[in-house]
Amino acid sequence: PDTVVETTSLAYVQIPEFEHMRTGDHPMVFKRQEALGAEQFGRGLSNIQLETVWYAMVRHEEMLPSGTERAGYFIGDGAGVGKGRMLAALIMENWLRGRRRSLWLSTSPDLMQDAMRDLGDVGATVLCQETIPHSSPANPLEIPLVPLNKMDYGNLEGDAVIFATYSSLIPHERGSSITRLGQLVAWMDRGEDSGVIAFDEAHKAKNLVSEQKPGPRGQKPSGTKTGKAVLQIQRELPMARVLYCSATGASDVKHLAYMDRIGLWGKGTAFDCTHPRWCTTGKSDFTLFAEQIQPRKTSDQSAMELVALDMKQRGMYQSRQLSFHGAEFESCNCLLYTSPSP
């Protein structure tokens, strides 16, 4: 619908060709097209949005080098490109494949209205409810959307898309050890059939690794509770299909720490703390990655640019924004106060 552009450096890197990204012997197909029909299927998403959803679907069929965790995908598009619709389309694709327990995380409860709109725009019939229905709707296009803050701390049963905020992952039931995070893990854990964990506005977790200096006694500063919760839910649901979505996901290599599923560090990669080369350092996988990618004399911007180029080339990242071609602006000086008269 509008012109979309990339940065010059990203534009020089080619994403993998479709024929090299297949699941087994068969190419990936859109279940939404089968359920909606060709005409309605083409209305909700543009071609570049469909392309991103397709790459995320293919990426989610891959495993990380460790062999125990499913690979994730990062959408870094700017405002106006339609990240919410892409997120909704991915959830719907998994819903139509029988993976009917997904989690949509965002920064505010008010954004649930945007989630409803985006799911509706991609062809779903959204059923807004305060509790999860005990049985799945007969119509496969009907998707219950349930806010986490309306439910108690008991066992969750039934299929739905749960909408929650990052802060809601932290609390626990008063007088009990039951946590919201543990409640969600127990509900979502379906092994190979685990659904989507969509981290909308994912930069909320970027301070997992604190940028503060060590204390006077050498104690290491701790990261935020939100960052720790985001990392924990990914590790406790290794087969969930993780999607990171943010226009400002990271401005420093350290801000990538919560993206445990992009597969740039960890077991089986070049930055594996159990490898003989690194095992005596006592450092974590991510610390090894960050120190090697961004030495002290390297600027934040150049290090992040290299990481972004590598991620796009591997088919795990897209970052585009609306073009300003043809836009006009006018400078206007506005006086904030009037000088007193003599």
Torsion sign, CA atoms 62, 68, 70, 76: negative
To which residue do tokens 């350092």 refer?
281
Instruction: Give the strand pairing for 4-5 and 321-322.
Output: antiparallel
Please write the tens of the pLDDT for every residue from 198-209: 999 999 999 888
**Quick one: pLDDT at residue 76?**
94
Full strand arrangement of the beta sheet holding 101-106: 125-128, 142-147, 160-165, 101-106, 196-200, 241-245, 73-75, 317-318
Strand, helix or coil at 118?
Answer: helix
Q: Name the band, by pLDDT with cuts 50, 70 and 90, for residue 121.
A: very high
User: 137-170: buried (b, 16+ CB within 10 Å) or exposed (e) per residue?
Assistant: eeebeebbbbbbeebeeeebeebbbbbbbbbbbe
C-alpha atoms less than 13 angstroms from C-alpha of 136 in its C-beta half-sphere: 14
What is the overall mean pLDDT for the chain?
88
Please write the tens of the pLDDT for every residue from 123-163: 999 999 999 998 888 899 999 999 999 898 888 999 999 99
CA dist., res. 329 & res. 335, Å (int): 19
Single pTM value for the model: 0.90
157: closest CA among 143, 136, 128? 136
CA dist., res. 315 & res. 73, Å (int): 8
Please write the tens of the pLDDT for every residue from 301-311: 788 888 999 99
Instruction: Give the strand pairing for 196-200 and 101-106.
Output: parallel
**Quick one: pLDDT at residue 123?**
93
CA dist., res. 17 & res. 319, Å (int): 17
**Quick one: pLDDT at residue 293?**
86
- The DSSP secondary-structure symbol of 61 reads T
CA dist., res. 235 & res. 216, Å (int): 32
Contact 94, 88 (CB under 8 A): no
CA dist., res. 279 & res. 267, Å (int): 12
Please write the tens of the pLDDT for every residue from 179-229: 899 999 999 999 999 999 999 999 999 988 865 555 555 555 568 899 999
**Quick one: pLDDT at residue 104?**
97
Beta partners for 125? 142
**Quick one: pLDDT at residue 175?**
76
